[in-house]
Structure 1
Amino acid sequence: MDLNNLLKPLLKIEDVIKIIEYTKIVPQGVPDRYEHIRNVFNLNIKEQNSRELSIADVARLVQTLETLLPRFGDNPADIDRDSVEKDLQNYISKGISEIGTVNIIPPLTTCCGSLRKSGQKACIVYRSRFRPVVGVMYELKCSKCNTVYKCSTYKRKGLELYYNDVLEQEYFMSTCDSVFSMEFMRRIDIDIFRKSASFEGIAYAYNDEHLGIEWMNSLNNTQILDRRRLSEAWYKKTLIEMKKNYNLQTEIEYILSDKLEGILECEKDVLWEKFSIKWSSSLHTDNCNHEECCKAIVIDGHMKGTRSVCGATEVKTIDSKELGSIHMGCWKMPMKGSLYCTEHKHVKEEHKKKPTEGAKTEEDSECNTFKENGHLQKFKSAGVCASVYNCGIINGMRELYGCESLTQVYIFLIWLAKVLEIFPHLLAYDDACHLKKFIMNPIRAEKSEYSKFLTTLRIVVDKMHFANHVDKWCRRNVNPYTDDLFKHINTEACEQTFQFVAKFKFATKHMSCGKYNLFMLKISEMYNNDRLVRNRKRIKEDK
């Protein structure tokens, strides 16, 4: 087969790739399809040696490219999707969103055998700058190994896995009928971090912009972006991103929607451990440039970013070498209209508000509006306990339940001592007097090497809260103003960090355990990267 003859009259690879991109955006079934492609191509010719095409030329080229040649996986001409869309926008004032469907072809072009089309599935494609459109996801199957290639995954021997470069592809398949452009996924990250936007706010704004404000009156519009569909795609993408960022898995199995929460709960401890290792390593110290980098750790609890939890108490057990077995309440999300999760739904609900004495007459009314009865006293988590270096970099975070108890803070410190590559001997905490006495307990201090390590720390109250400590013991033993080592240490690093974290207190209130932890992990990653840039910038400005 003579490729040159098949591609005539095109002479350059740049023109071939442009035609390929046009055929994906202007799909089969669009009236006057070949004429549209011809007009766009001829309108945007930039080189003198590229000649104009006729409708017959375009028809023959499109048929050849769609039936005989695979999709170009690499782009040697460095033509990106943006340039193609700009070409189309020059031709159609409303942009490409009004032309038709989007064809999504698997990124693989070669396998051990020949790749043939094995199926196609209709889906809704959500893109950042354009209205949602109906798309078609094609499947390719290898004739030799029977591997099936899809938009973001491939299925081999009954196991469906994500591509190693799935986050570098143009589209991300969340479910079999929902596809998001990676540009849109990156835009969501920015909106969450810079605008403190919730998934509901992002979804509503997208629908307002692309479907008009009347979209809320439409009951059967399948193109409406639902916040649950948006958040599901974001959590799947973010989980894959974090696993690759921390080198946890080379092959990641496709995440089913009903398995997402279970996977997140299983992975949260490992992800936080890798986060702490990363941000206590040379990646931090070599790029921070802060004059007092990693000289001290500041810990504190933040109770504004709470979420609803199951009301069952003393149903979970945490084993600690230093403290023994600790009984805790359930941290799962309660069922709708209940105080308890599905696991503990058999627990009798005895937490409804009791009626006020003497209110019998009001209760006997047929109206169901008496406010003293019937309202559930929901249980909430106690936020998070965060560990921050004095240079402003978060190095660890743990969810709190019930209250900011000394037991939970102590377990968190033990965990940090195990995983942090850099644990300085200076520690600031707003309740340092009680914490120090708890750590220095002679029986507890000898339980492990980590409990012994904690006894060697110099612990003081952070400067902002020290005014509340009036006891003579506090003034003598945990005073940050009399310890010269804390003279230039920013002991308010946690409080400053919580100014940022507090922006998400409404977005997190109805999250489940796994999603809450992944959300906090992601915004902590973005916060740290931003803080490194700010630290370097401040050093340059000071010079």
Structure 2
Amino acid sequence: MATAIEIDNLSSMVQDLGIEAFMMVARLDAIFQPLPTNSRILQFSDKVEIFTSILNFHLSPKTFVIKDVEITLNLIECNRSLVQSLLNLPSLNDIIRKFKEQGTMTSQQFTIINPKVLMPFTNICIQCKKILTDYKFAYCTRVLYIDRIEEASVIHAHCKPCHLKYSCSSVEQSGINYRVVTEQSLNHSDCIHFSGDLAYSKVLLHWRSALLIDDDSTFTGFCRSIINTLYELYPSSANFITPNALSQRFEVVYILWELARFELMIGNEAQVLLPLSLSPTSRSSFLEGFLDYYYSLFVLFWSRHQYVSTIKCDKRICSKIALCDGHQKCGRIVCAYTDIVDVSIPETGPVNIGCPYASMRRRHQTQQQQENSTKNEIKHHSTLYCPSHQSVTNMVLPQQSIDLHKLAHELDQIDHDFLHHTTQCNVYRDDLEDIHKNKGYGVLVTFLSCQIVIGFDESIRAEGMRRVTRHFLRMLQRKAEIPNDLVYDSACTLHLHWHRHIGTTFLKRSEHTEKLVNMTVVIDRFHMKNHKRQICQGEMKADHPIHNGKFDGINTELCEQYFNYLSRLKASLRTFNYPASSIFLLLLFHLRNCSKSGLSASSIGIAKSFIPPDMFPIRKRMNSLSYNENLEEQNVQDVWGVGNDNI
């Protein structure tokens, strides 16, 4: 207990500067106090002058004079033990933990008393604008930091007239399957918490993003390093979860957090929608439903990033040339069912794209129980097909679907026969190549010459010309601004395909197809040695005089160099099933683009500063590619690998 003399001394120290300034001086002095005061390190007069300048800078418009700071420092020196006791208070976390271990509180007191409280992100309803008054304790959670775990009390606020419930990072409405995230809710706390017994420090989330941009780290490896760190620092607190379980839960919240940042940065909406339930079915349905919306935002913004005044791209080559290539090393196991066609591109007709869902690699427990209780049930599931296509041999398709599949195959076959003609190039991409392969062909990516990704498609089937054409038309449909010059490793084949089929069933004339056939398409320098025919050695060469030097200074090997980075991440990329796989790629490319262009991924509303409102896509749900949306939950494969609703 402080004596009367100590209280008088403390009052004397505070009266000249005020409590805030005194504490700053005391903390600064504690940092420099161990240093000898001499001319070779730091003289006392220098210390007084520096501390005064810091006070005037931080507490402006208040002003402080050197004399008052000097007096305060002398008083601190005379009362060193008292000041040290003020600065070295024990950890509040430890105090509360030890107090709770005594067991002298009621159960309600025990749960609500924690060193951290996660309050709602606002005290004013975002709908009716009235002050929130109905606050309730919800439950306890843990906040995971890089080097510690803190217990926290979760408080909810309710606006009953609007049927809204406010929490730390989002707001929910009764009867609606979405939670709303805003700029305010995203920046409210030092952690992100949607539901359940774990919240995550934003430093931890940012660290994960930094590792994805520049390093090779799986979610499991990342979480294992966190738990190992906790074990070294606090052995008793590191046993609350296994690395695998933590990685499965962490990656769900991480991707939703990044999606919220993504939309607030390059979208037109002030309120972001995320799934209310974090169960496997809800997450998968949400991601698939809004995948096209997110992709449209990605294409719209990054194909126009050169209009952002603060970018750090090389102005000489920024957005000058487009480059396209496919990368197979990140290919994942996919369903062997091939008759899934895309009819969303009117210019090409139906294009066979294959089933993107993962094949069944394990028997579901409920399925096992059903098979044991039903004599007529099929005893074995096929590891070649996803849950939707397990009965592919007995599947009865509508006649329209059968006709579309047949037409898509016929168009592929015609193009295949044309490209096999002996007068054509010896290097080409074939739409019919290895169509029974049970592994995807990775990803098809289009870059700008400044290393910015502007579009991509997961390649379930081989990289044929019709699917490459679909890739470009999908971007143009979504208002991409693509340069008029393109580098592609099989440019000769693509050129022949476009110019042979323009105006036919293969490639109906439109504004978008006219854009394609009028592009200058050349072979990248790395693959030129594989092309022997006359057409390739002529105008298909990037350095041919006919191009007037437009490809000079362009790194045409950019794709291969970028794919070296993706190869290091293949372990992470292969852990996701569709649609999470496409969402993860989108976020990965977005973060990498931000890093390359010098833009902060935490920026808000950049796109709205230069893109007209009517160009932004409408936020709406799209239908599933397959029958998975109608399956019961036990038959739907988890795209994340975690089935716990309490994320």
* Structure 2 partner of 1:322: 347
Give 3-state SS (helix, strand or coil) of 2:515's partner. Answer: helix
* Structure 1 partner of 2:519: 457
| Structure 1 residue 263 corresponds to structure 2 residue 295 | no
Looking at CA atoms only, which structure, 1 or 2, has the larger radius of gyration? 2
Q: 1: distance between equivalents of 2:94 and 2:307?
A: 43
* Structure 2 partner of 1:388: 447
Deviation at residue 502 of structure 1 after TM alignment: 2.1
Deviation at residue 163 of structure 1 after TM alignment: 4.2
Deviation at residue 414 of structure 1 after TM alignment: 1.8
Contact kept, 8 Å, 1:321 with 1:447, in 2: the verdict is no
Deviation at residue 322 of structure 1 after TM alignment: 2.2
Q: 1: distance between equivalents of 2:358 and 2:25?
A: 55
- Return the match for 1:137 from 136, 142, 154: 154
Deviation at residue 469 of structure 1 after TM alignment: 0.3
Identity value in percent: 20
Give 3-state SS (helix, strand or coil) of 1:307's partner. Answer: coil
Q: 2: distance between equivalents of 1:282 and 1:491?
A: 20
- Per-residue CA deviation, residues 385-436 of structure 1 (Å, 9 max, x unaligned), is 1111122222211111121111111111222334455322211110111111
- Per-residue CA deviation, residues 251-272 of structure 1 (Å, 9 max, x unaligned), is 3345221211221122222222
| Structure 1 residue 272 corresponds to structure 2 residue 272 | no
- Return the match for 1:468 from 530, 537, 553: 530
* Structure 2 partner of 1:507: 572
Contact kept, 8 Å, 2:147 with 2:233, in 1: the verdict is no
Q: 2: distance between equivalents of 1:428 and 1:109?
A: 54
1:150 aligned partner, one-letter code: S
Q: 1: distance between equivalents of 2:195 and 2:460?
A: 33
Q: 1: distance between equivalents of 2:441 and 2:87?
A: 55
Q: 1: distance between equivalents of 2:132 and 2:348?
A: 61
| Structure 1 residue 302 corresponds to structure 2 residue 307 | no
Q: 2: distance between equivalents of 1:498 and 1:125?
A: 36
Distance 1:306 1:282, change over 3 A: closer
Distance 1:464 1:215, change over 3 A: farther
Deviation at residue 514 of structure 1 after TM alignment: 2.2
| Structure 1 residue 404 corresponds to structure 2 residue 463 | yes
Q: How does 1:443-454 map to 2 (within 5 A)?
A: 443=504, 444-454=506-516
- Per-residue CA deviation, residues 276-329 of structure 1 (Å, 9 max, x unaligned), is 221222545643233122221111111112122122221344343222112332
Q: 2: distance between equivalents of 1:319 and 1:138?
A: 46
| Structure 1 residue 342 corresponds to structure 2 residue 387 | yes
Which region of structure 1 is more displaced relative to structure 2, 397-406 or 317-326? Answer: 317-326
Deviation at residue 496 of structure 1 after TM alignment: 2.3
Which region of structure 1 is more displaced relative to structure 2, 248-257 or 405-414? Answer: 248-257
Deviation at residue 215 of structure 1 after TM alignment: 8.4
Q: 1: distance between equivalents of 2:449 and 2:337?
A: 38
* Structure 2 partner of 1:54: none
Q: 2: distance between equivalents of 1:249 and 1:464?
A: 43
2:452 aligned partner, one-letter code: I
Contact kept, 8 Å, 1:193 with 1:526, in 2: the verdict is yes
1:115 aligned partner, one-letter code: T
Q: 2: distance between equivalents of 1:455 and 1:203?
A: 49
Give 3-state SS (helix, strand or coil) of 1:336's partner. Answer: coil
1:183 aligned partner, one-letter code: V
- Return the match for 2:261 from 217, 238, 241: 241
* Structure 1 partner of 2:181: 162
| Structure 1 residue 433 corresponds to structure 2 residue 492 | yes
* Structure 2 partner of 1:519: 584
2:136 aligned partner, one-letter code: S
Distance 1:486 1:98, change over 3 A: farther
Contact kept, 8 Å, 2:123 with 2:132, in 1: the verdict is no
- Return the match for 2:119 from 96, 100, 105: 105
* Structure 1 partner of 2:201: 181
1:103 aligned partner, one-letter code: V
Contact kept, 8 Å, 2:93 with 2:150, in 1: the verdict is no
**RCO higher in 1 or 2 (8 Å CA, sep ≥ 6)?**
2
**What runs of 5+ residues in structure 1 fail to find an aligned partner?**
1-8, 17-40, 49-75, 79-86, 350-376, 535-543
Distance 1:343 1:295, change over 3 A: same
Q: TM-score, normalised by structure 2?
A: 0.60
Distance 1:512 1:213, change over 3 A: farther
Q: How does 1:477-492 map to 2 (within 5 A)?
A: 477-482=539-544, 483-484=547-548, 485-492=550-557
1:409 aligned partner, one-letter code: V
2:168 aligned partner, one-letter code: C
| Structure 1 residue 127 corresponds to structure 2 residue 192 | no
1:104 aligned partner, one-letter code: L
Q: 2: distance between equivalents of 1:473 and 1:440?
A: 14
Contact kept, 8 Å, 1:308 with 1:510, in 2: the verdict is no
Give 3-state SS (helix, strand or coil) of 1:417's partner. Answer: helix
Q: 1: distance between equivalents of 2:484 and 2:85?
A: 61
* Structure 2 partner of 1:32: none
Contact kept, 8 Å, 2:318 with 2:449, in 1: the verdict is yes
Q: TM-score, normalised by structure 1?
A: 0.71
Which region of structure 1 is more displaced relative to structure 2, 379-388 or 239-248? Answer: 239-248
Deviation at residue 470 of structure 1 after TM alignment: 0.5
Distance 1:501 1:274, change over 3 A: same
Distance 1:275 1:91, change over 3 A: same
Deviation at residue 147 of structure 1 after TM alignment: 4.0
Contact kept, 8 Å, 1:425 with 1:456, in 2: the verdict is yes
Distance 1:293 1:114, change over 3 A: closer
Give 3-state SS (helix, strand or coil) of 2:456's partner. Answer: strand
| Structure 1 residue 228 corresponds to structure 2 residue 248 | yes
| Structure 1 residue 148 corresponds to structure 2 residue 213 | no
Deviation at residue 88 of structure 1 after TM alignment: 12
Distance 1:114 1:144, change over 3 A: farther
Q: 2: distance between equivalents of 1:275 and 1:181?
A: 27
Q: 1: distance between equivalents of 2:540 and 2:216?
A: 36
Give 3-state SS (helix, strand or coil) of 2:287's partner. Answer: helix
1:383 aligned partner, one-letter code: G
* Structure 1 partner of 2:75: none
1:91 aligned partner, one-letter code: N
Q: 2: distance between equivalents of 1:98 and 1:201?
A: 33
Give aligned pairs, total: 438
Q: 1: distance between equivalents of 2:158 and 2:296?
A: 39
Deviation at residue 341 of structure 1 after TM alignment: 2.0
Structure with bigger strand share is 1
Q: 1: distance between equivalents of 2:184 and 2:175?
A: 21
Q: 1: distance between equivalents of 2:539 and 2:196?
A: 61
| Structure 1 residue 496 corresponds to structure 2 residue 564 | no
Which region of structure 1 is more displaced relative to structure 2, 293-302 or 377-386? Answer: 377-386
* Structure 2 partner of 1:370: none
2:569 aligned partner, one-letter code: F
Deviation at residue 146 of structure 1 after TM alignment: 6.0
Distance 1:119 1:47, change over 3 A: same
Distance 1:340 1:95, change over 3 A: farther
Give 3-state SS (helix, strand or coil) of 1:252's partner. Answer: strand
Give 3-state SS (helix, strand or coil) of 1:148's partner. Answer: strand
* Structure 2 partner of 1:84: none
